[in-house]
Amino acid sequence: MAEQEFDYDLFVIGAGSGGVRASRIAASHGARVAVAEEYRVGGTCVIRGCVPKKLLVYGSHFAEELQDAANYGWTVEKMSFDWPTLRDAVLKDVDRLNTAYTSTLENNKVERFLERATVTGPNTVRLGGSGREISARYILVATGAWPVMPDFPGNEHCITSNEVFHLENLPKRVVISGAGYIAMEFAGIFNALGCHVTVVNRSETILRGYDESLRDRLLQITMARGIEYKFNCPFEKVEKQADGSLQVFLAGQPDPLAADIVLVATGRLPKTDGLGLETAGIELGAQGEIPVDDHGRTACDSIYAVGDVTNRVQLTPIAIREGHAFADRVFGGKDTSVSYDCIPSAVFSQPPLAGVGLTESQARQAFGGNIKVYSSDFRPMKNIFGHRPERGLYKMIVEATSERVLGIHMIGPEAPEILQAAAIAVKAGLTKADFDATVALHPSMAEELVLMR
């Protein structure tokens, strides 16, 4: 098919963070672009993920801060909480962001199809609603990932992070399956709002992949705050009772757990079901991911993929960078690539933790004994009038010979906000001496970064 015979230069399947960025940048390079999205524009992060979840985190913080206010001389009378007010405010902001993302596409003259699209060949897609077949010089798949719902009796009574934002009422008893970042973030939210929370995990490890010292600290703090844990306890079944409550049966446990909701947060897999990629000779990976090369190209030269659907790094900023790099390379003639080194990440648990670079365990595996670990274990000033004994912990991992910083990891109030600046230093290859030479900003929690010993 000759290039001028294509309906579009680029057809994007999925209008999440990666798809929207790729569409906008490709259009800015003069490409004729269309995007198909079967639900709402914005993707997981904006519609049912990090943004609304972070707003719930902010909302839940007031429970603690209003209690602390009395110690600062404030009188707060008739303190109460109304879940529908918070829920509706969050959903209203989701509507605002959906409109903003839609406007971005419109302003860049990207045509939108609000229906499902599937691949029917190397250069063609079919729209599910109208049945229309469209041709494109390039196809970009950016359909993201979807929550995993394990197969066990009664799983139809459970919800995932997709549905949790729409709860009619605030539950009194919450059972959460899983102990990754989604599970720990919602555990903190519900616990702060006064719910009884039980975290159930198949293994004995929370937040696998994060620094062990931070994981241990978070476990201690959340247990002190009233979150209960059941480790090495796979789900057997969930039964719904006559009053609408749930009974959760766990392997090795004699008595079931009573719950009002059961939130399953056991991971996310690439959303590739029924996409038709086999029509273009593309075989999916073991987790349903789309295999791609360093530039996002699949086994079919005209089809690319970015973001969570590739199962490389499931982070919104990475999807955005991959989408941008794809558009610059394919339509802008720029030799753009994405670096996956020193990616900062955070868990908005309560308290939050954040890290960049190698953990202590990873550094020991990579460098043997040739590392040094500096740390600061302190009580944040913010906690003093709150009468909370919780302590913050910052760690710096360095290569012993050069003292180049290999990783920084921290848990404590505002840790993610502080880490973003520190991540620049790690990415730039700065040394412990560079941190030591920087004057501390006092009094602050961030000053601990330049005071670690």
pLDDT digits (tens, 9 = 90+) for 13-34: 999 999 999 999 999 999 999 9
Q: What is the mean pLDDT of residues 219-230?
A: 97
Cis previous bond, 171, omega within 30: no
Q: Do 8 and 34 meet the contact criterion of CB atoms below 8 Å apart?
A: yes
Domain extent for 178: 155-266
144 is in an annotated binding site: no
Average pLDDT score over the chain: 95
SS3 per-residue string spanning 353-407:
EEEEECCHHHHHHHHCCCEEEEEEEECCHHHCCCCCCCCEEEEEEEECCCCEEEE
Q: Is 442 a catalytic residue?
A: yes
User: Are 286 and 137 part of one and the same domain?
Assistant: yes
Number of folded domains that form the chain: 3
Residue 430: pLDDT above 50? Answer: yes
The DSSP 8-state label assigned to residue 267 in this structure reads: -
332 is in an annotated binding site: no
- pTM for the model stands at 0.95
User: Are 262 and 273 part of one and the same domain?
Assistant: no
267 is in an annotated binding site: yes
Residues forming a β-bridge with 198: 175, 228
Q: Do 147 and 268 meet the contact criterion of CB atoms below 8 Å apart?
A: yes
pLDDT digits (tens, 9 = 90+) for 57-99: 999 999 999 999 999 999 988 889 999 999 999 999 999 999 9
Q: pLDDT class for 40, splitting at 50, 70, 90? A: confident
The active-site residue out of 166, 295, 387, 442 is 442
User: Are 21 and 108 part of one and the same domain?
Assistant: yes
178 is in an annotated binding site: yes
| Weakest-pLDDT range from 96-105, 296-305, 383-392, 415-424 | 383-392
User: Are 112 and 256 part of one and the same domain?
Assistant: no
Among candidate residues 285, 336, 331, 334, the one with its CA nearest the CA of residue 312? 285
pLDDT digits (tens, 9 = 90+) for 257-274: 999 999 999 999 999 999
User: Are 7 and 141 part of one and the same domain?
Assistant: yes
- Which residues are CB-contacts of 257 (< 8 A; sequence separation ≥ 6)? 175, 198, 200, 230, 247, 248, 250
Whichever domain contains 134, its CATH number is: 3.50.50.60
pLDDT digits (tens, 9 = 90+) for 385-404: 888 889 999 999 999 999 99
180 is in an annotated binding site: yes
pLDDT digits (tens, 9 = 90+) for 129-171: 889 999 999 999 999 999 999 999 999 999 999 999 999 999 9
Residue 4: pLDDT above 80? Answer: no
pLDDT score at 68: 92
Percent over 90 (pLDDT), the chain? 92
183 is in an annotated binding site: yes
- Please report whether residue 59 resides in a domain: yes
Q: pLDDT class for 448, splitting at 50, 70, 90? A: very high
308 is in an annotated binding site: yes
pLDDT score at 199: 98
